[in-house]
Amino acid sequence: MLMENRIIKQWVHYLLVILVILVLISGLGIIYYQWIGFLTLGLLSKDVAFKIHTLIFIPFLIVLVVHSSISWILKK
C-alpha cells in the first residue's frame, strides 16, 4: 500500500509539472504571441495558445487541488 501511494503521488506531481509548463507556455503565447510564434516556428499562434490555455485550465485546477490535498486523501 505504501508503494502504491508513492506511485500515485509521483504521477500527480509529474502531471502537475506538465500542466504548469503548458499553462505558462500557452499564457506567454497569448501575451507575447509574436515572440512565442517565432520561437515555435509558427506552431503556437495566439489562437492556438488561447485554445490550449482554455482547455487545460480546469484539468490544471483539479490536479492542483489533488496535489495540495494528496496526503489527506491517501490517509483516508
Closest CA to 63 of 25, 27, 20: 20
- Taking only the tens place, the pLDDT of each residue in 48-66 is 999 999 999 999 999 999 9
Task: Provide the whole-model pTM.
Answer: 0.83
Q: Where are the domains of the chain?
A: 2-69
What is the sign, positive or negative, of the torsion defined by CA atoms of 58, 63, 69, 72?
positive
Confidence category of residue 1, pLDDT binned at 50, 70, 90? low
- For residues 75 and 58, what is the distance between their CA atoms, to the nearest angstrom? 25
pLDDT digits (tens, 9 = 90+) for 4-55: 888 888 999 999 999 999 999 999 999 999 999 899 898 999 999 999 999 9
| Helix, strand, coil content of the chain in percent (nearest 5) | 85, 0, 15
